[in-house]
């Protein structure tokens, strides 16, 4: 099972997560989507129709549970950029995985990352790289997107799937972004199904 764990406020990161899942499934694998717990106070969310609509859209997606991670073949984490870093709710979830680290439960499994942000050069790569750090601490084997994917010339990143959503977060991931996200899903599945390391 490829476990796709993400945070989103306006749904763009969810769209990439769904494309990664599609890529896993098209390659013959199984994947599940898990959202991290929304920690923002209700009175803040209440004032933002788009935020509320995204939360409604995700009603059927279960919240992630740390104990589920022991059984996964690969862990893929996704976040909107927050000041060049991952969003706090995702970090908070990752900070609950110390027990798994103690047991080496994720060691030797495939890890991968994806991100959405506002503009071309405002923190995509710093966010992707910083998201890899905890996965490496867990002993995971990081998989990215190779330069043999032609869309990487203008879209995405060698470090993971991406989308540039604009200042108001209202530009959805493009066809190229989705193609690269699907190919990341396929690659995660293909590599994790061959991998046997500790």
Ligand X SMILES: Cc1cc2nc3c(=O)[nH]c(=O)nc-3n(C[C@H](O)[C@H](O)[C@H](O)COP(=O)(O)O)c2cc1C
Q: Are 7 and 79 in contact (CB under 8 A)?
A: yes
Q: Which of 157, 165, 183, 192 binds ligand X (CB under 6 A)?
A: 165
Q: What angle do CA 185, 149, 86 make, to 5 degrees?
A: 50
Tell me: does residue 169 bind ligand X (CB under 6 A): yes
Tell me: does residue 130 bind ligand X (CB under 6 A): no
Tell me: does residue 157 bind ligand X (CB under 6 A): no
Tell me: does residue 183 bind ligand X (CB under 6 A): no
Q: Are 179 and 16 in contact (CB under 8 A)?
A: no
Q: Closer CB to ligand X, residue 162 or residue 183?
A: 162
Q: Closer CB to ligand X, residue 122 or residue 174?
A: 122
Tell me: does residue 123 bind ligand X (CB under 6 A): yes
Site string for ligand X, 97-116 (x = CB under 6 A): -------------------x
Alpha-carbon dihedral 80, 84, 85, 87, rounded to 10 degrees? -40
Closest CB 116 distance from ligand X, rounded Å: 3
Tell me: does residue 8 bind ligand X (CB under 6 A): yes
Tell me: does residue 118 bind ligand X (CB under 6 A): yes
The residue among 28, 25, 29, 23 whose CA lies nearest residue 1 is 29
Tell me: does residue 9 bind ligand X (CB under 6 A): yes
Q: Which of 97, 107, 122, 174 binds ligand X (CB under 6 A)?
A: 122
Span from 38-46, 79-87, 89-97, 98-106 in contact with ligand X (CB under 6 A): 79-87
Closest CB 14 distance from ligand X, rounded Å: 6
Q: Which of 3, 10, 159, 189 binds ligand X (CB under 6 A)?
A: 10
Enumerate binding residues for ligand X (CB under 6 A): 8-13, 80-84, 116-119, 122-123, 165, 169
């Amino acid at each position: 099972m490829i476990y796709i764990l993400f945070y989103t406020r306006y749904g763009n990161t969810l769209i990439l997560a769904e494309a990664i899942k599609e890529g896993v499934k098209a390659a013959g694998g199984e994947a599940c989507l898990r959202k991290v717990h929304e920690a923002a106070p209700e009175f803040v969310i209440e004032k933002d129709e788009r935020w509320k609509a995204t939360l409604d859209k995700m009603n059927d997606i279960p919240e992630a549970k740390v104990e589920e991670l022991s059984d996964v073949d690969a862990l893929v984490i996704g976040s909107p950029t927050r000041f060049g870093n991952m969003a706090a709710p995702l970090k908070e979830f990752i900070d609950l995985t110390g027990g798994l680290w103690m047991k080496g439960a994720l060691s030797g499994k495939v890890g991968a990352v994806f991100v959405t942000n506002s503009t071309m050069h405002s923190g995509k790569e710093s966010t992707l790289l910083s998201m890899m750090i905890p996965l490496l601490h867990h002993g995971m084997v990081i998989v990215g997107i190779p330069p043999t994917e032609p869309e990487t010339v203008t879209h995405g990143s060698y470090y993971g799937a991406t989308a540039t959503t604009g200042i108001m977060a209202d530009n959805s991931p493009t066809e190229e972004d989705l193609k690269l996200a699907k190919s990341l899903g396929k690659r995660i599945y293909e590599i994790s199904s061959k991998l046997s390391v500790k």
